[in-house]
Amino acid sequence: MFRFIARRLLQIVPVLFVIVTATFFMVRFVPGGPFTSEKALPPEILKNIEAHYGLDQPLWRQYLNYLGRIAHGDLGPSFKYANRSVNEIIGDKLPVSLELGGLALAVALALGLPLGVLAAVRRNSWVDYLCSTTGMIGICVPTFVLGPLLVLFFAIHLGWVNASGWYDWTDRVLPALTLGFVYAAYIMRLTRGGMLEVLNQDYIRTARAKGASEARVVLRHALRGGLLPVVSFLGPAIAGILTGSFVIETIFQIPGLGREFVNSAFNRDYTLVLGTVMLYAALLVLCNLAADVVQVWLNPKLKFE
């Protein structure tokens, strides 16, 4: 198992290298630059600023400089936020996204798993229909509709929480619920599907025949296999949920990384684009690896190889 994990971790290096290289050149070929704005800068001033950032050098040299930089863990200065480095921006904003993502994930799992199991166990009953319909609605209603609706009711109508911002724990409630609901719906449906498949298997019949209680059958024998599709979904989903959601962060004015990820592309903030892309890529690889490990652990038919 350790060899498996070590090998996968080593694979991150070439993967990141390819991603950095592709992103570096792609953002440079997009029209407009970090200093293009409504009021055109006089050419001599533009030249000055570009020289300050080394943008006047040939592209291949800039690329090599950048590689040298990131080898030392320095993601460079941000082009948009004048006095801040990309390391600092990520250091500031990633914890916010992690917190929001963690809470949303907790909501998603706390809602999705039990309801999915319940729907599968009570298949074709009103419980199942209710859960499935709610799940379908959860998948269909986009966050940019659900978020403002929750704000309208809980923040503006009832005045219980702020409409936006990130000050105290009450500000975490609505964004975590909004983001969590969507994932809860997916998890619910996947859990239900996985459970249904497992509940028809021979070993479940054996367990029942041996006199195991229904709760033991479901929670101990079936759930383990039923969770497999959820786990493979959660791998990439966790990476996405933890690096922040542009929509949620915009609706609730949360100073997270998701907005920087999208805005950096609009701002042509080359270094910030690269920094966030790399972070996302690394997280994606790690989460997929974790998902694989958990799957092997859950599914006795799989082995590390």
Partner 1 sequence: MSAPRPKLCLPFFIICSLVFTGCGKRETMVEVGNRAQILHQGIATEPQDLDPHLLQFQSHFNVFMALSEGLVGYDPSDLHPVPGVAERWEVSPDGLAYTFHLRANAKWSNGDAVTAHDFVFSARRILSPGLGSPFRYYFDDVRGAKEFTAAAVPDISTVGIRALDDHTLRIELTHPAPSFLFLLGNWAWYPLHRGTLEKYGGVDRPYADWSRPGRLVGNGPYTLAEWKPGQVIVVKKNPRYWDAARVRLNEIHFHPIENADTEERAFRSGQLHITENVPGSKLREYAAQQRGPLVVAPIFATYAYVFNVTRPPFDDVRVRRAFSLALDRESIVASQVGSGIRPARSFVPPVGGYAGPDEAALRFDPAEARRLLAAAGYPEGRGFPAVELATNTSQLHREIAEVVQQLWRKNLGVPVAISLKEGKVFYQERIRKQYQLSRSSWFGDYPDPFAFLTLYLGDNGQNTTGYARPEYDRLALSAGQTLDEAARLSRYREAEAVLLRDAPVVPLFHETSRHLVHPAVQGRFPNLFNIHPYQGMWLETK
Cβ 184 to partner 1, closest distance in Å? 10
Interface with partner 1, residue 213, by CB under 8 A: yes
118 binds partner 1 (CB under 8 A): yes
Q: How far is the CB of 267 from partner 1 (least distance, A)?
A: 8
Binding to partner 1 in span 90-109, by CB under 8 A: 92-93, 107
Output the smallest distance, CB 187 to partner 1, in A.
13
Cβ at position 185, least distance to partner 1 in Å: 14
Regarding 39 and contact with partner 1 (CB under 8 A), the answer is yes
| Phi, psi angle pair for 25, to nearest 5° | -75, -35
Report the residue number, 27 or 237, with the smaller CB distance to partner 1.
27
* Total residues in contact with partner 1, by rule CB under 8 A: 70
> Residue 121, interface with partner 1 (CB under 8 A)?
yes
Whether the CB-CB separation of 276 and 264 falls below 8 Å is answered with: yes
Position 200 contacts partner 1 (CB under 8 A): no
Q: How many CB atoms lie within 10 A of CB 170?
A: 13
CB nearer to partner 1: pick between 207 and 251: 251
- CB 63 to partner 1: min, Å: 21
- Min separation Cβ 142 and partner 1, Å: 14
Q: Which of 183, 186, 233, 252 binds partner 1 (CB under 8 A)?
A: 252
d(CA 248, CA 145): 10
User: Whose Cβ is closer to partner 1: residue 68's or residue 114's?
Assistant: 114
CB of 9 to partner 1, least distance (A): 32
Q: Is 155 in the site for partner 1 (CB under 8 A)?
A: yes
Task: Give the CA distances from residue 116 to residues 121, 139, 185, 187, in Å, rounded to whole numbers and listed in that order.
Answer: 9, 14, 9, 7
- Identify which of residues 37 and 124 has a Cβ nearer to partner 1 in the complex: 37
- The nearest distance, CB 78 to partner 1, in angstroms, is 9
Q: How far apart are CA 174 and CA 165, in angstroms?
A: 11
Q: Of the candidates 243, 241, 255, which has an alpha carbon nearest to the alpha carbon of residue 280?
A: 243
H or E stretch covering 92: helix 86-121
Interaction residues for partner 1, span 264-303 (CB under 8 A): 266-268
Nearer to partner 1, 60 or 169 (CB): 169
CB 261 within 8 A of CB 281: no
User: In angstroms, rounded to a whole number, what is the distance separating the alpha carbons of residues 75 and 87?
Assistant: 6
Distance of CA 295 to the CA centre of its chain: 19
- Short-list 198, 155, 204, CA closest to 299: 198
Taking each helix axis from N to C terminus, what angle separates 86-121 and 270-298, rounded to the nearest 10 degrees? 30
Choose among 219, 227, 164, 220: nearest CA to 192. 227
What is residue 63's DSSP assignment? Answer: H
What is the identity of the amino acid at 90? I
User: What does the binding site for partner 1 look like in residue numbers (CB under 8 A)?
Assistant: 30-33, 36-46, 48-49, 52, 77, 80-84, 89, 92-93, 107, 110-111, 114-115, 117-118, 121-122, 148, 151-152, 154-156, 158-166, 170, 173, 177, 213-215, 218-219, 250-256, 259, 266-268
